[in-house]
Amino acid sequence: MLEAERPKWGLRVLCRAVLVGIVLLLGAEAVLRWCVGLGDPPLARLDRVTEYELIPSAHYRRWGNFIAINANGMRAPDHAPWPGPAERRVLLIGDSVVYGNHFLDQAETIAAQLTGDLATNPRLAGCTVLALPMAVSSWGPANQAAALRRDGTFGAHAAAIVLSAHDLYDVPRLSADILPYQLTRSWTAIGDAVTALVLRKSRETATTDLRPLEARAQLSLIALGDMVGQLRAAGIMPKLVYHPTTGERAGSMRHERATLTDWAWARGIETIDLGAEITTADGYRDTIHPNALGAARIARVLARSLAPDLPLCDE
């Protein structure tokens, strides 16, 4: 009798174990999706012109933040190809600092807050103002110049190019292993978490760019010159905005900063140094990315500098 009952007992144990496993998986899925904010990663695709770009016309929730990618593949609202008579546009060119990384909500990004600051500027009374980012995480000057050449300025009246020291060496490598975005959708939050960890490890172990720093810097400066030439041809006098890391703010000035600012000065480009505008204590989320407060401070600085470049609007 006891021998006959053993298979049933073993089956019950197995069923309970399976049930516990399912409950744990569902619990992990719920926690990762609803508490952590995983499961809906912004997607990118490889591109022969810009190296890679965001999938256009998409909406996501990442780390609890809203991310909206417009029809042009930028984290901004959709807009007409050209501004109306009383619309004034600012083009904000950059990388993840401007994009806002995934730890800022759409409304907290520099471009979104700059739009609000310019809209309340008394000088621009009667205007509809829109700050348009041309920024994707880890894009360097070469990626940005390619995007600008392909997409144009969208009728912008002013522009700022936001750079940090590392951007001087950030040149295209055409490798999916180092992208800061996923290329395929994750159907579960657990799968998203696993993929994110694998990609992070892959980027950490990716083959180092063996090109000399000097050669990469030269490519970036050429791309910067290309961008400036395109903007000036469109009637825009761009400004270079230097964004320091927390290490630089602590006193370790990097020579890349002097290289970029000297390059801009030699070409008559106004430079804005953000070193005095956000603090290591409450303006940064990590060593380089601003948090919402830091982004708000940067937006205010840019609004003060760019507002005079925008034409007045008739009442």
CB 310 within 8 Å of CB 118: yes
Alpha helical stretches, state H, 152-250: 189-205, 213-233, 246-249
Q: Is residue 148 part of a domain?
A: yes
Q: Is residue 298 part of a domain?
A: yes
End-to-end CA distance of the chain: 96
Q: Is residue 49 part of a domain?
A: yes
- Domain ranges, residue 139: 41-178+208-309
Q: How far apart are CA 170 and CA 240, in angstroms?
A: 17
Q: Is residue 236 part of a domain?
A: yes
Give the DSSP H or E segment for 27: helix 2-30
Number of domains in the chain: 1
Q: Is residue 153 part of a domain?
A: yes
Q: How far apart are CA 77 and CA 52, in angstroms?
A: 20
Phi, psi of 210 (to 5 degrees): -85, -5
Q: Is residue 110 part of a domain?
A: yes
CB 245 within 8 Å of CB 213: no
The CATH number of the domain holding residue 109 is 3.40.50.1110
Q: Is residue 126 part of a domain?
A: yes
- One digit per residue, the tens of pLDDT, for the chain of length 315 reads 455 556 666 778 778 887 877 877 777 767 667 777 788 899 999 999 999 999 999 999 998 999 999 999 999 999 999 999 999 999 999 999 999 989 999 999 999 999 999 999 999 999 999 999 999 999 999 999 999 999 999 999 999 999 999 999 999 886 666 788 888 888 887 777 777 777 766 665 555 676 889 999 999 999 999 999 999 999 999 999 999 998 888 777 689 999 999 999 999 999 999 987 777 678 999 999 999 999 999 999 999 999 999 999 865
Phi, psi of 278 (to 5 degrees): -130, 145
CB 240 within 8 Å of CB 270: yes
Q: Is residue 4 part of a domain?
A: no
